[in-house]
Structure 1
Amino acid sequence: MRIAEMEQQHIFDGHNDVLSCLWREGQSAGEGFFNGRDGHLDLAGCRAGGFAGGFFAVWCSTDPATAPDPMAQFREFPAIDPARAHLETAAQVAILLRMVRARPEAIRLCTSAAQIEAARAAGAVAALLHIEGCEGIGAELDELHLYHAAGLRSLGPVWSRPNIFGHGVPFNFPASPDTGPGLTEAGKRLLAECESLGVLFDLSHLNEAGFWDVARLSGRPLVATHSGAHAMTPATRNLTDKQLDAVAESGGLVGLNFGCQFLRQDGQKRADTAPEEMLRHLEHLLARLGEGGVALGSDFDGALMPEFIGSARGLPKLVTAMQAAGYAPELIRRICWQNWLDMLAKTIG
């Protein structure tokens, strides 16, 4: 197959943070997504790069007064105010709801794999609503049911900070993800309720003890929407081989994070990160998880991207790099699209 043909590959992506960016920019109707914005993700860029859908995350910001240096090698984030998080979570969910109501031909809120396929066929971006760090959900889980009714189908119990449900890994290199205790009792109740509702439970950002709690308690495939291989880059945010083996045994999936510091052998947050760094991780993930267990989880609008990709517009360059490395067309299609759709059919319906 020619490179020009491969560049038309549709991509379903495991993570972006455009909703939190739009919220911080005061765009309650998501205007920048439709009209062009200074970021990784907008409608024109999605269409140019083959970005046909993905997990649209709600993420509550860290207080600037207590946030660590964003370029530091070690970053430990404190807990945030739950009252503020409740407001931010609701506001960001509302942004997506306004977007899909205003421009259904451009973006659709999807709650099943079949709806994602239908959105692609219609030429609309398929948005799966995800919450990253559940500070906006209380211990009684009332908000979980409200957001599920609004379309929520995926969540990560923690971001890289503690909350009432568990403990997230700090950003550290080189270091182990074994950084503290596991799920709290509230976290275990959250897991059980998500499985009852058909909400995917994301292991990205959860520390190792929390990961093993989920592996022990869950009957579902283990999924990390945007992570990498610790053996390739020993950052706390990446999964060890033992964790990857557990994901494989469960029939689970890992979406590769594009964040430069999680890809590079030196752990540096530098944009001059070559395609080979991404391919190292893909090769390792494929060896551990098999061809059905690896997908993409860019972290667009939430991490520093390799400059050869830059934004959603640059996704064809990653496809070309996979082709140049000898990946068969069917494997590329699975990594870019089908593996996520197969996993979502099993986890959310």
Structure 2
Amino acid sequence: MQLIFDGHNDVLLRLLNNMQGGSDPVAEFRDGTDQGHIDGPRARAGGLAGGLCAIYISSGHFELRQPGEDGHYATPLEAPLERQPSLDIALAMAAIAYRLDRAGAWTLCRTTSDIRAAIEKGKFAAVLHMEGCEAIDKDLVALETFYAAGLRSLGPVWSRNNIFGHGVPFAYPMGPDTGPGLTEAGFELIRACNRLGILVDLSHITEKGFWDVAKTSDQPLIASHSNAHALTPVARNLTDKQMEAIRDSRGLVGLNYATTMLRADGQESADTPLSDMVRHVDHMVERMGIDCVALGSDFDGATIPADIRDAAGNQKLVAALAAAGYGTEDLAKICRDNWLRVLGQAWHEA
């Protein structure tokens, strides 16, 4: 079994929503549930050894715009969020992460040594990530506090705009050049992340924002859960030119399991074959090399192929990649080693 460190999941959002309905998040993760994609038992069954766990502030009940007769769709950007309620929700998610850590349901990690030690002990290695920085103030006071609390990765924007930058819509067919990039506050955020050692994630940002980060950041360029626009032309996917910049920085792209970002027709359907996942990996390896490709499932945040179903099904993807010709060393890089390399660089370990 290839152990996997995954670049993106939304399990904290699911746990928070269920806690508000009366569920115990520790018991739900530790003992398992039939909801969503990730819990301890299913992670162990599928070799999911850890990952970046998103603090994500939902805009409410989000739905993709239904496709027209031609299969095209363009979902409008969600409205910007207010900071104070966003901060309250972000703190609630961080508190859940700490409750799981104290209970031994997972281990919160701040270094790659922490990740390796947790994996060695058979504990889920969780790293706090922030997807969209609505909880962060312009003066970055909250950033310092979240860093002290263990935040080690962030994406300046989700697919909406905020004080730091602009996000891309969920739309097909459409390129990622959909609007402005970073604001002045956004440039300051990137510089602060470089100084502190917080990984900067480029998934969800506009193409202009991508290039703004590229010219500002001293880190490898990372898109934690994005795929190839050349194969699936949704606005959320990366162009070959963007991938070449990621390659040149020795960064990485994490394969997103979301079916809308895998299928040639950009549709949301669990009836999506594993071959679509393999062809995106093949394209990314061709454009960037094996050292720049990883996994970023988007578990608990997207419709994924039925053949995978949940975290327990991860080894089916590993088997499909092996059948496509990827050897043991290549699979180790895709499944975990590439993530550990770039995290170590972003966190000033190397």
**Considering the TM-score relative to the shorter chain, is it more than 0.5?**
yes
Structure 2 counterpart of 1:326, one-letter code: G
User: Residue 343 of structure 1: CA displacement?
Assistant: 1.1
In structure 2, distance between residues paired with 1:158 and 1:30: 29
What secondary structure is seen at the aligned counterpart in 1 of 2:74? coil
Moved over 6 A (4+): none
In structure 2, distance between residues paired with 1:132 and 1:28: 24
Q: Does residue 245 of structure 1 match 2:212?
A: no
2:52 corresponds to which of 41, 52, 55? 55
1:13 corresponds to which of 3, 6, 11? 6
1:44 corresponds to which of 41, 47, 50? 41
User: 1:227, 1:237 within 8 Å by CA — same for their partners in 2?
Assistant: yes
C-alpha RMSD of matched pairs (Å): 1.2
User: 1:9, 1:50 within 8 Å by CA — same for their partners in 2?
Assistant: yes
In structure 2, distance between residues paired with 1:30 and 1:61: 21
| Number of positions where the alignment pairs a residue of Structure 1 with one of Structure 2 | 338
**CA offset digits 1:85-118 (Å, max 9, x no partner):** 1111110011001110111xx4111111111111
**CA offset digits 1:287-324 (Å, max 9, x no partner):** 11111000000000000010000100000100110111
Q: Which moved more, 1:186-195 or 1:29-38?
A: 29-38
Q: List aligned pairs for 1:1-349, cutoff 5 A.
A: 8-26=1-19, 27=23, 29-37=25-33, 38-64=35-61, 67-69=62-64, 71=66, 73-76=73-76, 77-103=78-104, 106-348=105-347, 349=349
User: 2:13, 2:55 within 8 Å by CA — same for their partners in 1?
Assistant: yes
Identical-pair percentage = 50
User: Residue 35 of structure 1: CA displacement?
Assistant: 2.1
Structure 1 counterpart of 2:132, one-letter code: G
Distance 1:51 1:189, change over 3 A: same
Structure 2 counterpart of 1:232, one-letter code: L
User: Residue 31 of structure 1: CA displacement?
Assistant: 2.7
Structure 1 counterpart of 2:298, one-letter code: D
In structure 1, distance between residues paired with 2:226 and 2:302: 12
Normalising by the residue count of structure 1, what TM-score does the alignment of the two structures yield?
A: 0.95
User: 2:18, 2:25 within 8 Å by CA — same for their partners in 1?
Assistant: no
**CA offset digits 1:108-129 (Å, max 9, x no partner):** 1111111111111111010010
2:70 — aligned with what?
none
What secondary structure is seen at the aligned counterpart in 1 of 2:147? helix
In structure 2, distance between residues paired with 1:127 and 1:9: 18
Distance 1:218 1:296, change over 3 A: same
* Structure 1: stretches of 5+ with no match in the other structure: 1-7
What secondary structure is seen at the aligned counterpart in 1 of 2:174? coil
In structure 2, distance between residues paired with 1:161 and 1:28: 31
Normalising by the residue count of structure 2, what TM-score does the alignment of the two structures yield?
A: 0.94
**CA offset digits 1:176-215 (Å, max 9, x no partner):** 1001001001111100000000000000001101000001
